[in-house]
Amino acid sequence: MTTFETYLDARNGTVLDDDLVVVLRNIAEATRQISDKLRTSSLDGLTGSTEVTNVQGETQKPLDILSNDIMLEACRRSASVSFAVSEELDTEVAIHADGKYAVIFDPLDGSSNLDVNVTVGTIFSVIRATTADDILKSGRGQLIAGYAAYGPQTGLVLTIGQGVQMFTLNDEGVYMLTNADAKIVPEAKEFAINAARRSSWDDAVAAYIEDAIDNGHNMRWVGSMVADTHRIFNRGGVFLYPADRNKPASGGRLRLLYEANPIGLLVEAAGGAAIIGTTTILDIEPTSLHQRVPVIFGSKTEVDKISAAYQERV
Ligand code: AHM
Ligand code: MG
């Protein structure tokens, strides 16, 4: 079987230069460390909440802070990293003055699921950035995107612009290639949406969901986007977190730079689609680091139906 290291070696000098290989190796090592911490968190007193609130106004969990520190340390070990941007940090952090790549991450996505022992994840994206101004670019500028899913297995899902590869952590702490070319099936009768927010959906989303239910689609909602994404990679379907029609200025729940963009790049690389209404997620020009956007992605045919519902209402 191919290890993550062998996979990196085979691509060194093609899409990946020596510097990006180091960045990826250190990110993978960080996810292995986070996975380790999660396995025994109840034994180590790492459950519950802290008194600290992050820039999003959310109370941080001890594991949010620990995972953020582990990811920051991975950036510091990578000589070519210029900046780190995180859900848990107010603004970008300068790492190496002569670095050329920014690493943008959500260190622990779905952390409200931690204490109930449900899958959480780390989402990351690598872009070229020598100055802080370079960070605010559209998702098309991403060189690498991926996530680690910490569930019954720890999985690492990655795109370096050539399809999507999936790795699984073995019992010696080594990521092994388990799917060399992951694809999202174009059609599947399954949707993921927080149905409790139904009264805040726009008409296009409401119409699609009503139609889906009438046509026998199933519903799933983990509350960790990484876990919902991983299901879509494995058996298709769509994920929707639309804007709140009563609070359009809020933009949505999920963040563009470290949630929507990396997942958008992965989904497109696997043959799926990722949109916000009539626009493609990857084409949004960001205006701020923690900008929130509506998010719809998954099986291409299903996303196209939702896109058509938006087009009809323009
Ligand atoms: P987080 O990054 O603070 O964990 O928030 C993002 C999560 C996503 O993983 C998930 O899709 C969403 O928030 C869940 O929202 P809800 O509380 O509406 O179920
Ligand atoms: Mg998140």
- The token pair at 20 is 């990006």
Ligand 1 atom nearest to CA at 106? 2
Instruction: Check whether 68 has a pLDDT greater than 90.
Output: yes
- Nearest CA to 24 out of 162, 183, 157, 163 is that of 157
How much distance in Å is there from the Cα of 35 to the middle of ligand 1? Answer: 19
Query: What ipTM was estimated for this complex?
Result: 0.94
88 is in an annotated binding site: no
- Which pLDDT does position 52 carry in this prediction? 87
Q: What's the pLDDT score for residue 59?
A: 86
Compute the mean pLDDT over every residue in the chain, rounded to the nearest whole number: 96
Give whole-number Cα distances, 141 to 4, 10, 54, 108, 136, in Å: 24, 23, 27, 23, 10
Over the stretch 139-195, which tens digit does the pLDDT of each residue have? 999 999 999 999 999 999 999 988 999 999 999 999 999 999 999 999 999 999 999
Number of residues in the chain: 314
Distance from the Cα of residue 282 to its chain's centroid: 13
110 is in an annotated binding site: yes
Q: How far is the CA of 225 from the centre of ligand 2 (A)?
A: 7
Q: Is the dihedral of CA 155, 161, 164, 165 positive or negative?
A: negative
pLDDT, position 15 = 85
| Ligand 2 centroid from CA 223, angstroms | 10
> Which residues have C-beta atoms less than 6 Å from ligand 1?
58, 87, 106, 109-112, 194, 223-225, 241, 253
Which two tokens mark 98?
């002569």
CA of 126 to the centre of ligand 2 (A): 17
Q: Closest residue (by CA) to atom 12 of ligand 1?
A: 223
pLDDT for 184 = 98
pLDDT band at 72 (very low <50, low <70, confident <90, very high): very high
- Give the DSSP H or E segment for 109: strand 101-109
Q: Binding residue per annotation — 282?
A: no
CA distances from 293 to 148, 226, 243, 253 (A): 22, 17, 7, 7
The answer to whether 110 touches 224, Cβ cutoff 8 Å, is yes
Query: Which has the higher per-residue pLDDT, 246 or 125?
Result: 125
Residue 192 Cα to ligand 2 midpoint, Å, equals 16
pLDDT given at position 263: 98
Question: For residue range 83-98, what is the model confidence (pLDDT) as tens digits?
Answer: 999 999 999 999 999 9
Q: For a substitution probing ligand 1, which of 53, 54, 56, 109 has the most ligand atoms within 8 Å of its CB?
A: 109
pLDDT (tens digit, 9 = 90+) per residue, 201-224?
Answer: 999 999 999 999 999 999 999 999
194 labelled binding-site residue: yes
- The pTM of the full predicted model, rounded to 2 decimals, is 0.97
For residues 14-30, average pLDDT: 95
Pick the range with the lowest mean pLDDT from 30-34, 45-49, 226-230, 269-273: 45-49
